[in-house]
Amino acid sequence: MKKLKAVDFFCSGGGMTCGLRQAGIDVIAGIDNDPSCKDTYEGNNPGSEFLHEDVFDLKEQDLEKRLDLKKNDDNLILIGCSPCQYWSIIRTNKSKSTKSKNLLIEFNRFVDYFNPGYVLVENVPGILTRKDKSGLDNFIASLGQKGFKVHFGTVNMNQYGVPQSRRRFSLLATRLHSESIFPTPNLAYLPTVRDVLGAKNGFKKVHPGHRDMTAFYHSTANITEKNVLRLKKTPKSGGSWKDWANDKKLKRLSYSGNGFPDNYGRMSWDKPAPTITTKFVSISNGRFAHPEEDRGLSIREGATLQTFPKEYIFPSESIGLAAKIIGNAVPPLFAKSLGETIMNAHSNKKHGRRT
């Protein structure tokens, strides 16, 4: 049986690629328009080539020649996990991400042209709730017209072994099987922060602004003296800003209590982490303070909550850039479950069993 191969569009630092490779799939290339992802992607996924390309400018025929791809290849998987800022519910300035709202439409050009055996898409839930504007309606209809069986919906990746409450839109489509396929959630094991962080998991105590010069990268962002005092008054394992809201020296003068209540909060040891975003190193951008130490999360802690292997390195110029790569990633463990589902279904198909 020929080995399944994949092309990972919008690959960033390689979370999806890593998980699919763990499942036994040959990811021949990742495509991204951000060159800062190249060292992380290729350094951790040897044999998977990083293509610095803007999908708006990339032509199907050029990709076909460069990667020696074939049309109607049953063993080909195309992956489109496009940047999701425009469709996110987080109230940020969308002007910089306006162009990205049409990336699914661009990705569909390649699906139409190559007609692969399998298609994977991952994005924020907003792409589904606004599916008429995001292009998702037309994308799913197009897959159906080509004979694909499509499974899609919003999943909580905590139910797939990821130690965070991370709700994402996921789609898995195949034209090789009589019914749609998708990994089954495991409701019996919902991992928490305690399962992966802390001293027993190899994370020594560090202070704000700590610099780890090793590949482990247990580095933390610096915080102001006032924020250190705020954290000292925030109860361990789940405390919030409300515990110092009325302190004249510490209270947030411009904050009325509306908006995002988790900012400046601590994670809880015995709950899943909140969704790890590109700003997870900043305590003012979510519930990203350590459960008991007076600091924010380190780069390695964020990567671990995203299920990157401990040996996965992030050779970035700054903590902020590494956090961006990590926060944008598809958790490799979830990607692995998708890959294993495809591998099992494909094996049954090759052996003549209906799936």
Q: Which residues are marked as active site?
A: 84
Containing 193, the helix (H) or strand (E) segment is helix 193-196
Q: How many angstroms separate the CA atoms of 173 and 116, rounded?
A: 10
Length of the chain, please? 355
What does DSSP assign to residue 14? S
Closest CA to 99 of 113, 87, 110: 87
Q: Which residue in this structure is represented by tokens 């306006």?
A: 98
Containing 122, the helix (H) or strand (E) segment is strand 118-123
**Do 46 and 24 meet the contact criterion of CB atoms below 8 Å apart?**
no
Q: Which residue in this structure is represented by tokens 């090759």?
A: 350
**Do 210 and 298 meet the contact criterion of CB atoms below 8 Å apart?**
yes
Tokens of 254: 């411009």
Closest CA to 181 of 26, 338, 24, 334: 338
**Is the alpha carbon torsion for 230, 233, 236, 240 positive or negative?**
negative
Q: How many angstroms separate the CA atoms of 202 and 98, rounded?
A: 41
